[in-house]
Amino acid sequence: MLATGGFEKKLRIFDLAERRHQQNSSPDTPVDTVVLDAATAFEIGAGVHKDSIKFIVWTNVPTTLVTASGNMLRWFDIPTVSCFRQEVLDGEIKSCEVVALAPGHSDPKDIGGGKPVLAVAAGKSVYFWDGDQFDNKFKSFQLSHGVASVGLDLKGRKFAVGEEPGTWVRVYSWDDGSEIDILKGHHGPVWSIAFSPDGKLYATASEDGTIKMWKNCEGFYGLWKGSPGSLPDRSAE
């Protein structure tokens, strides 16, 4: 299934079961393009959204998804095409993404017990939800500045946010909310922060048109050089 939102304030679900194409065996064969007619979709929660639908995430339950619209998070059940829960946040939602480590890297000792976590930035606050339907708000932090984005280090127990207004990335401790680092280098707002599948680096994407990679582990990693145990604060673009 494919879910779409947007400025129409309509949550549409497309059933792709009949539109699957057998994968081409030759890399030189052009990829088929499929055009989806809006008339073939069905709408969920008609009239519920009062603002543009900016984010949609699927939960661990295949029949449940979450939307971010204005300052509201809403949970929808596909079989009943209805909204069964909603939550008002601190301000307009600027970031709403699922955070997870790749199989083999997650551990029950990680934040979220080794399972995916929903990270949300809104107003001057960041929120974190777990559970199969991301329906358990197990932690939140109110910061002294606006937040445009948030990324969560499940294993390292810290989170990074793009400040708003501003161009810096601020890193905070998960345990007590204290600021532990400031990353400078972007020349525009940072709208997205994502950790790698192994958690050893993360990327920040800015309105200035750049993506910066930040090392998040000790010792050598990828293009980073230095003595074992070093943790440089410089990024690689």
Is residue 140 predicted with pLDDT exceeding 90?
Answer: yes
In whole angstroms, how far apart are CA 128 and each of 100, 104, 150, 208, 219? 12, 23, 10, 28, 30
Residues 120 and 200 in one domain: yes
In a domain, 30, yes or no: no
pTM of the predicted structure, to 2 decimals:
0.86
pLDDT at 229: 41
Please name the residue that has the structure tokens 């080794």: 114
What is the residue type of 30?
P
- For the cut 70, the answer to whether the pLDDT of residue 200 exceeds it is yes
Residue 26's pLDDT is what?
61
Q: Residue 154 in contact with residue 99, Cβ under 8 Å?
A: yes
Do 143 and 223 belong to one domain?
Answer: yes
Q: Give domain status of residue 129, yes or no.
A: yes
pLDDT, tens only, 78-98 = 999 999 999 999 999 999 999
Residue finishing a domain among 88, 105, 123:
88
Half-sphere exposure of 136 (CA within 13 A, CB side): 9
pLDDT in tens, 6-30: 999 999 999 887 666 544 556 676 6
Q: Among 119, 205, 141, 218, which residue's Cα sits nearest to residue 169?
A: 205
| pLDDT at residue 87 in the model | 96
In a domain, 70, yes or no: yes
115/225 same-domain check: yes
pLDDT at 225: 63
User: Does some domain include residue 25?
Assistant: no
Residue 203 in this model has a pLDDT that exceeds 90:
yes
| Higher-pLDDT residue of 230, 223 | 223
pLDDT at 227: 47
* 33: confidence class by pLDDT, cuts 50, 70, 90: confident
Look up the domain containing 52 and give its range: 1-20+35-88
Q: Give 43-72 pLDDT, tens digit per residue.
A: 999 999 999 999 999 999 999 999 999 999
Q: Are 89 and 71 in contact (CB under 8 A)?
A: yes
| Coil vs helix vs strand at 226 | coil
Q: What is the pLDDT of residue 35?
A: 79
**pLDDT reported for residue 171:** 96
Element of type H or E holding 235: strand 235-236
**Whether 121 and 155 share a structural domain:** yes
Among 111, 114, 113, residue whose Cα is nearest residue 126? 111
